[in-house]
């Protein structure tokens, strides 16, 4: 058996032992606390809701998540992360990819696009929770009556709130540009305007609800290891196979073998895979 295979088997065995012994903690909300978007601590801007949908319920108290590792515990010496987690990289047009340790059912295995980010709050849309509900059953608009493209669950907060992401070759007036020709649609008039040009479902996704944080909350969650940060791209936002999107993204963040100083004294460097 090759050295590489032996090391890989040893790595997997170590991780299994750590998980069984409680050496690997996961993110969990405190028991008995409200489950309505544990990360929400401040309301997003008023423009985030549909004007005819009624008032927004008050946000629930925030809950902090526990870190993946105990304080002072370090990663195994033979590994280094491919993707670093830096809260300074947060902002509009960035993707959040849930780490494997994020066990909160609202956010486990999610990929989220940040569409608003300022001192008042952060708003994101979950990209990979597609439903079987057609658009015609969600939007009470004449131009949506024949739309069979499915809607997405954008997050645990206010599922009656509706947003859309639309990739347009021309500027969409009054819409918020998220990145590279992708616009956030959040008002009835904008929905009417966009639907009137009959956008292709491959560049027009509708979301029910959203995820929300205060900036400090989200930065702290990134610091604790809950999220990986990536720049957004259209192939991710409008992925044709959203069910596998998280796995595609998390594989980009997996640990790789790396040469370490103590190990290098007794063996040849291990090629990254």
SS3 219: helix
- The per-residue pLDDT for 252 is 84
Phi, psi of 2 (to 5 degrees): -70, 160
Terminal-residue alpha carbon distance, the chain: 17
SS3 122: strand
Q: What is the pLDDT along the chain (273 residues), one digit of tens a residue?
A: 554 445 444 444 443 334 343 432 322 222 232 233 433 333 333 333 333 233 333 333 334 344 444 444 444 434 444 455 788 899 999 999 999 999 999 999 999 999 999 999 999 999 999 999 999 999 999 999 999 999 999 999 999 999 999 999 999 999 999 999 999 999 999 999 999 999 999 999 999 999 999 999 999 999 999 999 999 999 999 999 999 999 999 988 875 333 333 443 434 443 433
Q: Is the separation of the CB atoms in 125 and 238 below 8 Å?
A: no
- The per-residue pLDDT for 84 is 53
Structural domains of the chain, with CATH = 32-73+81-253 (3.40.1740.10)
Q: Nearest 5°: CA angle at 268, between 263 and 270?
A: 80
DSSP summary character for residue 27: B
Q: What is the pTM of this model?
A: 0.68
CA atoms of 245 and 129, how far apart (whole Å): 10
CA atoms of 64 and 123, how far apart (whole Å): 18
């Amino acid at each position: 058996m090759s050295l590489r295979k032996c090391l890989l088997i040893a790595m997997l065995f170590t991780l299994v032992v750590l998980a069984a012994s409680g050496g690997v903690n996961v993110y969990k909300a405190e028991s008995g606390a409200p489950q309505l978007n544990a990360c929400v601590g401040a309301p997003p801007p008023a423009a985030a809701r549909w004007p005819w949908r009624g008032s927004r319920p008050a946000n629930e108290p925030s809950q902090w998540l526990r870190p993946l590792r105990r304080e002072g515990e370090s990663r195994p010496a033979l590994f280094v992360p491919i993707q670093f987690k830096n809260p300074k990289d947060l902002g509009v047009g960035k993707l959040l990819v849930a780490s494997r340790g994020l066990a909160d059912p609202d956010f486990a295995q999610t990929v989220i696009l940040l569409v608003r980010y300022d001192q008042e709050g952060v708003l994101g849309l979950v990209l990979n929770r597609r439903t079987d509900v057609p658009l015609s059953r969600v939007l009470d608009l004449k131009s949506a009556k024949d739309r069979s493209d499915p809607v997405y669950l954008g997050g645990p907060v206010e599922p009656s709130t509706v947003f859309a992401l639309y990739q347009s070759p021309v500027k969409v007036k009054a819409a918020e540009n998220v990145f590279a020709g992708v616009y956030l649609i959040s008002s009835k008039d904008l929905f009417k305007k966009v639907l009137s040009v009959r956008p292709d479902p491959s560049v027009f996704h509708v979301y029910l609800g959203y995820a929300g944080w205060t900036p400090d909350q989200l930065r702290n969650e990134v610091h604790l290891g809950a999220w990986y940060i990536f720049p957004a791209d259209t192939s991710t936002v409008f992925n044709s196979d959203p069910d596998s999107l998280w796995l595609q993204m998390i594989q980009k963040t997996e640990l790789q073998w790396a040469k370490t100083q103590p190990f290098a004294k007794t063996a040849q460097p291990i090629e990254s895979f």
